Amino acid sequence: MIGRVTTQMTSADLLANINASLDRIDTTQEELSTGKKINQPSDDPYGTSLALQLNNELGGLNDYANNVSDATGWTQAGNAALSDITNAVQRVRELVVEAANGTNSQADMSADADEVNQLIDQIKQDANTQYNGQYIFSGAATSTAPYEAGSNDAYAGDNGSVTRTIGPNTSVAVNGNLAGVLGTGQTVAGQPAGDGKLLNTLRNIADDMQSGNSGALSGTDLSQLDTNLNSLTGLSANLGAVTDRLQMASSRIQSLQTADTQVLSNTQDADMAQTEINFSTQQAALTAALQAGAHIVQQSLMDFLSG
């Protein structure tokens, strides 16, 4: 214990205490105004490191969420095109079944053939569907239209796939291999490629209708068409599965975002109620220090000496 207490000691101590009090209030005020308890790395170095990491993770999750919504756009556009194509093929099948009866007149058969050719154009148009300016059934060559209108059925895309990253080291292919179902049809007018794919079958059907070959229509054409329809349904199912997967990924990303945001908030956000209480306590302490100081520093023995 210090024996003598001198005037300078009292005032220096008072000043130091008031300064310390102000310093604490300053820190609390910064926390209150920013709403954060980590305002510089030195406030909590480990917390800072965690906050940076979590912010980065949240950025990554946001990217994944964007990728998922982009991928969903692709698969939805794909599904719409595929169901349109399926409808067209169903219509062709009705025409084929009707023609296979052999009761239609040649004029009716020619009209049917024209309709089939128009449906072929519609199918190729569906195959040329674009999402966000990119052809979705062109493999990786997204800036090239896969099919051209008219009698040339050659596939202009490639076999590449378009993938979207929807999680760490997790990516999905979002483009269906429609060219594998449609095939190359006829690359030279009037000469079907013979690959047995949908366009080829449709061209054969149109030719058989034109020539009134109801035997071929009821035989190979119909069974070929059913096979093609099957693979089309398979492709639709595939894309549907991808859509389901994307939905699951989306909800997983959302729950991760919620969890990360919560941890981040616990790490860097100030507990407002607690901070408010601290603030008023510190303010009361400062007022008390100032009042005490005003009394102590003013008084000395001189106040009590007479004359």
Partner 1 sequence: MTIPSFSGLNTALSGLEAAQAAIDTTGQNIANADTPGYSRQQVDMTERDPLTIQSLSNVTGGGSQLGQGVDITTISRVRDQFLDVQYRTQNTQTNGDNTSSTLLGQVQAALNEPSSSGLSSALSNFWSAFTALGNDPTNQGALQAVLGAGQTVASGLNTLGNELTTLESQVTSQYNSLTDPNTGPIASDANQIAALNTQIAQAQVNGLNPNTLFDQRDQLIDDLSQYSNVNVTQQSNGMVNVSFGNAATAAAGGTTDPTPLVNGGSVNLTANLTDANLSGSGGTVGALLGLYDSSTGQGKIAGYLTTLNGVTNNLVTSVNNAIATADPSGATAPPFFTATGTTATTIAVNPSLSTATAPYTEAEAQAAGALRGGSADQSYNAFVTQIGSDVQSTQNAQQTAQSLLSAINNQRQSVSGVSLDEEMTNLITYQQAYQASARVMNAIDETLNTLVNQVGAGI
Query: Which residues are near partner 1 by CB under 8 A?
Result: 2-9, 12-13, 16, 38, 40-46, 48-49, 51-53, 55-57, 59-60, 62-63, 66-67, 70, 132-134, 140, 142-143, 162-165, 171, 268, 300-302, 305
Nearest distance in Å: CB 219, partner 1: 45
Q: Alpha-carbon distance 102 to 215, whole Å?
A: 8
Sign of CA dihedral 15, 20, 26, 29: negative
Q: Which is nearer to partner 1, 60 or 240 (by Cβ)?
A: 60
Nearest distance in Å: CB 89, partner 1: 31
Q: How far is CA 122 from CA 88, 125, 184, 193, in A?
A: 8, 5, 15, 20
Q: Which is nearer to partner 1, 62 or 254 (by Cβ)?
A: 62
Nearest distance in Å: CB 129, partner 1: 16
Q: Which is nearer to partner 1, 91 or 245 (by Cβ)?
A: 245
**Three-class secondary structure of residue 137 per DSSP:** coil
Maximum distance among all Cα pairs of the chain, rounded to whole angstroms: 141
Nearest distance in Å: CB 296, partner 1: 12
Q: Which is nearer to partner 1, 14 or 111 (by Cβ)?
A: 14
* Backbone φ and ψ of 134, nearest 5°: -120, 140
* Backbone φ and ψ of 173, nearest 5°: -85, 130
Cβ within 8 Å of residue 39, ≥6 positions away: 30, 31
Nearest distance in Å: CB 137, partner 1: 16
Q: Which is nearer to partner 1, 140 or 256 (by Cβ)?
A: 140
Contact 209, 113 (CB under 8 A): yes
